[in-house]
Amino acid sequence: MRRWRLVLGGQGADGTGRSLSGADAAMDRTLEALYGARGGDGHGGSGTVAGRSGGPQGAASGARSGGLGGSAPQVARWLGDIRTYFPTSVVQVMQRDAIDRLGLSALLLEPEMLEAVEADVHLVGTLLSLNKAMPETTKNTARAVVRKVVADLEKRLATRTRATLTGALDRSTRIGRPRHRDIDWDRTIRANLKNYLPEHRTVVPERLIGYGRAARGVKKDVVLCVDQSGSMAASVVYASVFGAVLASMRSLATRLVVFDTSVVDLTDELDDPVDVLFGTQLGGGTDINRALAYCQSKITRPADTVVVLISDLYEGGIREEMLGRVAAMKASGVQFVTLLALSDEGAPSYDREHAAALAALGAPAFACTPDLFPEVMAAAIERRQLPIPDMAIHQ
C-alpha cells in the first residue's frame, strides 16, 4: 500500500487510505514536483502524468502545487534530493523527464546546475544540442561533464573493441600461399592433420596458411558516416567514442564524417572524442546522399573498406541517388553496413521504405547496441554474415 500511495500521489480517491511521513513524504514531494498536476505549468511541460494529480498530500481536495519553479538553486536542491532517494538509473530517467516536461534545458547552461546533475549519454546529447547557445562561463563545466561520460564509455567499450577487431584483422589477412617466414605453422598443421602419414610420422602440408606481408601496416579502411540530426543524439555520442577507439588501432585507417544538410569531416579530431562531440551540431535536416557522396570520394581501396552509415534514414536529399551510391560502393567491393541507431534506447523510429530498399541491395539495416558494435565490425572486416539482432525487421 505504501508503494501504491507513492505511485498514485495521494488523491482522495486513490483508495489506499495511507499517509506518508519522514523519508517517504520527502520522496513523494520530489515525485510531485516533477509528475504532479502543475509539474509542467509555465515551464514547457507536457501536463499531468496519470495518477499523480489532485489534492494536498493525503487529503481529499485542493490542488497540489507542483513544479520546480524557475530558481536554479531550487532545481539544484531537487536534483540532490532525487539522488538521495532513488538509484542512479532512476535518477537519469527523472532528469530526462524534468528536461522534457519542465523545460529545464536553459538551466543546464548554468555551471552550478551542471555540477548537480547525474551525467549520462542523454545529458551529453542535450548539452551538445545547447552548445551554440552555451555561455563561455559554462563551457568548461560542460566539457568536464562530457569528458566524464566519454571516459566511462571508453573504459567500458575500448578493451573489448580492440580485442575483437584485432582478432578479426589477423584472420582477414591470412593468405593461402605465404612465404616461408609468414607461415602460421599451428593453423597449417591443424588444417592438414588428415594428411598425416603414420609410416613417416609426419604431416604433408598440402595447404599452407599464413599472414599477409602487410600485417604491420594498415589493413582496413573504416568510414563512420553519422547522422547528427536531433533524434540521433545518443548514436552520435557512441559513434564518437568508437571512432576514437578505432582510430587508436594502427591497423585501421578510420574516418569520421558527420552530417545533416551539410557534411563535416571530423577525422582530425579523433584523438579526443570530446573535441569530436563539440564539433557536432545536433539538429537540422538530413541529406544522406550528400554525405555518402563525400564518403565515396574518399575511398581509395574499395575491397579493403568498411562504410558504416548510422542514420534513421529519413532522407531529405535525393533518394534515388542515395541508393545508387550504396549500390555502386557495394559493386566496387566496399562492405556497407547501415545502423538505424547505435544506442541502448530500444527500437528506433526510422524510414522503413529506405531500410527495405537498402536491405534489397544487400546492405542490411538494423539497430545496434554499443555492446554488439565490435562484433558487427569484426564480421564486416572478415566479410562474413553480420550478427543482426533477432528483433531486426530488415535483414
Dist. CA 243–CA 105, nearest whole Å: 28
Integer angstrom CA distances of residue 163 from 191, 245, 351, 387: 24, 11, 34, 17
Please check the confidence at residue 100 and state whether its pLDDT lies above 70. Answer: yes
Check whether 195 has a pLDDT greater than 60: yes
Judge whether 12 and 61 are in contact, CB under 8 Å: yes
pLDDT > 70? residue 287: yes
Helix/strand/coil for 370: coil
Phi-psi region of 169 (alpha: psi -120 to 50; beta: other; left: phi over 0): alpha
Which amino acid, residue 215?
Answer: A
Residue 295 pLDDT greater than 50, yes or no: yes
Do 85 and 113 touch, CB atoms closer than 8 A?
Answer: no
Q: Which pLDDT score is estimated for 211?
A: 61
What's the rounded mean pLDDT across residues 195-201? 87
Quote the CA–CA distance of 115 and 93 in Å, as a whole number: 18
Record the cell numbers describing residue 314, joined without a space.
529519413
Number of residues that this document lists for the chain: 395
Residue 197 has pLDDT above 80, yes or no: yes
Mean residue pLDDT of the chain comes to: 80
What pLDDT is attached to residue 212? 54
Residue 88: CB atoms within 10 A of its CB come to 10
> In degrees, to the nearest 5, what angle opens at C-alpha 277 toward C-alphas 272 and 278?
100
Neighbours of 204 (CB within 10 A): 10
- Residues 277-305, mean pLDDT to the nearest whole number: 90
* CB 251, CB 203: distance < 8 Å: no
What distance in Å separates the CA atoms of residue 249 and residue 383, rounded to the nearest whole number?
Answer: 19
- Is pLDDT of 62 > 50? no
Residue 314 has pLDDT above 50, yes or no: yes
**Banded model confidence at residue 117, pLDDT cuts 50, 70, 90:** confident
Eight-state DSSP code of residue 348: P
**317 pLDDT above the threshold of 90:** no
Confidence of residue 22 (pLDDT cuts 50, 70, 90): confident
- Read off the pLDDT of residues 204-244 as tens digits, 9 standing for 90 and up: 888 777 765 444 566 899 999 999 987 788 899 999 999 99
Residue 115's pLDDT band, with cuts at 50, 70 and 90, is confident
pLDDT value at residue 63: 42
- Confidence bin at 64 (pLDDT 50/70/90): very low
Looking at residue 222, what DSSP letter applies? E
Q: For residue 45, which of 107, 101, 124 has the smallest C-alpha distance? A: 101
E strand map for the chain = 174-175, 196-197, 202-203, 210-211, 220-227, 252-259, 263-265, 305-310, 335-342, 365-368
